[in-house]
């Protein structure tokens, strides 16, 4: 089973490409929670997801409006809970409605409302890299076995996209590095085994 993955992107475009690589894995009911400080690149990542889902309109930050809805291959609900002060406030604003089983939900600052999220979701943490203004460390943390499998699929797509952009060596080098917390032997199960099969 594919566990947590860490990738360093070197430009906003690469972060967007990672978001786009996630899109083919997304189905209605799926939830992606994004963490990271202001300016980390959460909205850039969501723009990539939206592009990959075929959203045609402009995708902007919902920091002040809290929720934006787009139509692509599926409805995409883009939530930013930065200005929400409590779980209760989120509840009062109607969180159940954004957990629409016919839509894909992406939540910026999702860590703040994690008790409201379904246990199965993908957590994406984006962190700035000290001394490298255009680099970001992106951790993809699958919550639930479905997401571990989807991550394996995302890797295949990411390799294609980065390859087309001439950055494949970089991605291969970054993505294939097993996380320090995971002994190499544990990678040869389930989705990861299929993925490494050819």
Give the interface with Mg ion as residue ranges (CB under 5 A): 42-43, 61, 108
**Contact criterion met (CB below 8 Å) for 152 and 195:** yes
Compare residues 47 and 149 and give the one whose CB is closer to ligand ADP. Answer: 47
Contact status: 6 vs ligand ADP (CB under 6 A)? no
Q: Would you state the structure tokens that stand for residue 133, as one six-digit string?
A: 């203004």
Distance CA 149, CA 153 (A): 7
Q: Would you state the structure tokens that stand for residue 168, as one six-digit string?
A: 């494949």
Applying CB under 6 A, among 1, 31, 32, 42 the residue interacting with ligand ADP is 42
CB of 38 vs ligand ADP, minimal distance in Å: 5
The DSSP bridge partners found for residue 137 are 8, 127
Applying CB under 6 A, among 17, 44, 107, 152 the residue interacting with ligand ADP is 44
Applying CB under 6 A, among 136, 141, 152, 158 the residue interacting with ligand ADP is 136
Applying CB under 6 A, among 28, 39, 57, 94 the residue interacting with ligand ADP is 39
Applying CB under 6 A, among 15, 33, 123, 157 the residue interacting with ligand ADP is 15
* Contact mark string toward ligand ADP, 94..113, x via CB under 6 A: --------------x-----
Instruction: Identify the three-state secondary structure at position 87.
Output: helix
Compare residues 38 and 119 and give the one whose CB is closer to ligand ADP. Answer: 38
94 binds, among ligand ADP, Mg ion, none (CB under 5 to 8 A by kind): none
CB of 34 vs ligand ADP, minimal distance in Å: 7
Phi, psi of 156 (to 5 degrees): -60, -45
Stretch that binds ligand ADP, among 19-27, 129-137, 141-149, 189-197 (CB under 6 A): 129-137
Q: Would you state the structure tokens that stand for residue 107, as one six-digit string?
A: 């939540």
Applying CB under 6 A, among 11, 139, 146, 182 the residue interacting with ligand ADP is 11
Instruction: Identify the three-state secondary structure at position 77.
Output: strand
What are the C-alpha distances in Å from 32 to residues 24, 49, 111, 146, 187?
13, 10, 11, 13, 23
Compare residues 22 and 171 and give the one whose CB is closer to Mg ion. Answer: 22
Pairing of β 121-129 and β 31-35? parallel
66 — alpha (psi -120 to 50), left (phi > 0) or beta? Answer: left
């Amino acid at each position: 089973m594919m566990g947590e993955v860490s990738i360093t992107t070197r430009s906003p475009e690469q972060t967007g490409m990672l978001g786009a690589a996630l899109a083919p894995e997304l189905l209605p009911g799926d939830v992606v929670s994004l963490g990271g400080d202001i300016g980390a690149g959460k909205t850039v990542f969501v723009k990539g997801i939206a592009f990959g889902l075929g959203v045609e309109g402009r995708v902007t930050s919902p920091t002040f409006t809290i929720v934006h809805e787009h139509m692509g291959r599926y409805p995409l609900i883009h939530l930013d809970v930065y200005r929400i002060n409590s779980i209760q406030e989120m509840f009062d604003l109607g969180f159940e409605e954004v957990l629409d089983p016919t839509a894909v939900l992406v939540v910026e600052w999702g860590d703040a409302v994690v008790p409201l999220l379904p246990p199965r979701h993908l957590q994406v943490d984006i962190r700035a890299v000290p001394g490298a203004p255009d680099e970001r460390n992106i951790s993809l943390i699958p919550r639930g076995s479905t997401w571990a499998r989807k991550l394996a699929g995302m890797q295949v797509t990411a390799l294609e996209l980065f390859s087309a952009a001439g950055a494949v060596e970089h991605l291969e080098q970054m993505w294939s590095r097993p996380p320090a917390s995971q002994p190499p032997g544990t990678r040869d199960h389930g989705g990861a085994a299929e993925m490494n099969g050819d």
